[in-house]
Amino acid sequence: MERYYQPEIECASREQIRQWQSERLVKQVRNVWDHVAMYRERMQEAGVTPEDIRSVDDLHKLPFITKDDLRDQYPYGLLARPLSDCVRIQSTSGTTGRRVVAFYTQNDVDLWDECCARAIVAAGGTREDVCHVCYGYGLFTGGPGLNGGSHKVGCLTLPMSSGNTERQIQFMVDLGSTILCCTPSYAAYLAESIYERGLEKQIKLKAGIFGAEAWTQEMRRDIEKKLGIKAYDIYGLTEISGPGVSFECSEQTGMHVNEDHFIAEVINPKTGEVLPDGEKGELVFTCITKEAFPLLRYRTRDICVLSHEKCSCGRTHVKMSKPLGRSDDMLIVKGVNVFPSQIETVLMNLGYPANYQIIVDRVNNSDTIEVQVEMTPEMFSDSLSQVSGREKELTDALKAMLGIYAKVKLVNPRTITRSEGKAVRVIDKRNLYQG
């Protein structure tokens, strides 16, 4: 059995998990109180001292921290270890505001690799596998995380990084890649490119480990069918370590959180109240084993649901649903909440490829939403009236899903830019008019 399938940890009793979490939390709270000024100040403001935190039941007493706090403390404010103990930094893409920089000691890197190794093993990975990693390497955590996990499992690791699709496919064929790690949108693009070259029979992939962006079940089935694989979801964020905070098992019904390292809570984003299993809210993480950059009650802005239901894989760690969208991904159009994933579901259910762009604008003081969708090559030869019939069918289906009118424009195959990393699905022109 693989070393990184750790039943004594991954299938431990709930009592045992609780005990680990309580012991580690108590230590971590003392650690940040002693070493990080911001935590000490925040806890004092909330009237809490380390003595008040005796078990996981006391977690709710701690104040939340947010991305704004991380930006305010940039770069060293949240370090809980001397810089000389740190061996690595990783960073978010920083498209809005200041970048967030996360620090790692060697232990932190080892634990992170271990979490990714568990994800690879859960997807069936063994030392016989060729693990093809085309998440970006560098400051982004995707490449380094899965690379480290793949080494731990003992797979032959192909550190491809993103881009150069031609070379990706050539190596996939020549070196017999069996596990593919990349964003789901890039997996869809690779599948399309493999078909175009007629190479589908020469691909030996059996599993994919896809994450870093929202993707629907419909997209999962599509990729699985096209690449002849089982597609596993993986979740994580730079602030908490990177990929591997949680991962899917063969059940494909949610991602097991590595609870010996991270405590997950779901809260009401408006009131901060902790919600029970099954209720939708904002995901919050507390790092109980991290040394350099341990975040406590960090609000992720990802909306999801937790479940402690028994999993047939035997793992007992809590499962989180696919994030139903990020609270800041949610569009408000004409006062209605719209998640891009709802649009993707409609498109894929009607047989369109996952190549689309959502354009939101404001015309005469009223919001508009347009969805540009690529036709498949087979639809391309349709008559004009067939095309307008398709547009109407899509408009009606979107109206039923979203409750508002969205203009649909079918565009020629291959006209929407493909993504090699995280796909940019939405262009919100309303932001241009602000400030």
Nearer to ligand DLL, 154 or 211 (CB): 211
Q: Minimal distance in Å, beta carbon 257 to ligand DLL? A: 12
Question: Cβ 426 to ligand DLL, closest distance in Å?
Answer: 14
**Residue closer to ligand DLL, measured from CB, 136 or 154:** 136
Name the residue with the smallest CB distance to ligand DLL.
211
The residue among 318, 319, 321, 315 whose CA lies nearest residue 5 is 315
In angstroms, what is the minimal distance from the CB of 142 to ligand DLL?
Answer: 3
Torsion of CA 77, 80, 81, 87, to 10 degrees: -80
Pick the closer one to ligand DLL by CB: 242 or 353: 242
What is the nearest approach in angstroms of ligand DLL to the Cβ of residue 377?
29
Task: Give Cβ neighbours of residue 292 (< 8 Å, ≥ 6 apart).
Answer: 79, 80, 81, 85, 86, 103, 104, 105, 108
Nearest by Cα to 302 from 361, 257, 349, 350 = 257
- Which C-beta is closer to ligand DLL: that of 230 or that of 326? 326
Contact at 8 Å (CB) between 221 and 252?
Answer: no
Nearer of residues 108 and 233 to ligand DLL, judged by Cβ? 233
Smaller CB distance to ligand DLL: residue 213 or 367? 213
Q: Minimum CB separation from ligand DLL for residue 129, in Å?
A: 18
Q: Output the smallest distance, CB 328 to ligand DLL, in A.
A: 9
> Nearer Cβ to ligand DLL, position 213 or 259?
213
Alpha carbons within 13 angstroms on the beta-carbon side of residue 144 total: 19
- For the chain, the first-to-last Cα distance in angstroms comes to 59
Q: Which two tokens stand for residue 330?
A: 């949610």
Matching residue, tokens 């593919």: 180
CA distance readout (Å), 294 to 32, 137, 264, 298: 8, 23, 14, 10
Amino acid at 343: I
Instruction: Tell me how far, at minimum, the Cβ of 365 lies from ligand DLL, in Å.
Output: 31
Q: Radius of gyration of the chain from Cα atoms?
A: 22
CB of 65 to ligand DLL, least distance (A): 15
Residue 120 or 410 with smaller CB distance to ligand DLL: 120
- Cβ closest to ligand DLL, residue 31 vs residue 157: 157
Beta bridge partners of 410: 373
150, 133 Cβ separation under 8 angstroms: yes
Q: How far is the CB of 78 from ligand DLL (least distance, A)?
A: 16
Q: What is the closest distance, in whole angstroms, from the C-beta atom of residue 73 to ligand DLL in the complex? A: 17
Which residues, including other chains, have CB under 8 Å from residue 381's CB and lie 6 or more apart? none
Query: 43 or 153, CB closer to ligand DLL?
Result: 153
d(CA 274, CA 339): 23
The site for ligand DLL (CB under 6 A) is made up of 92-93, 135, 141-142, 211-214, 233-238, 242-243, 300, 302, 322-323, 326
Closest CB 44 distance from ligand DLL, rounded Å: 29
Pick the closer one to ligand DLL by CB: 24 or 422.
422
Structure tokens at 302: 């990802």
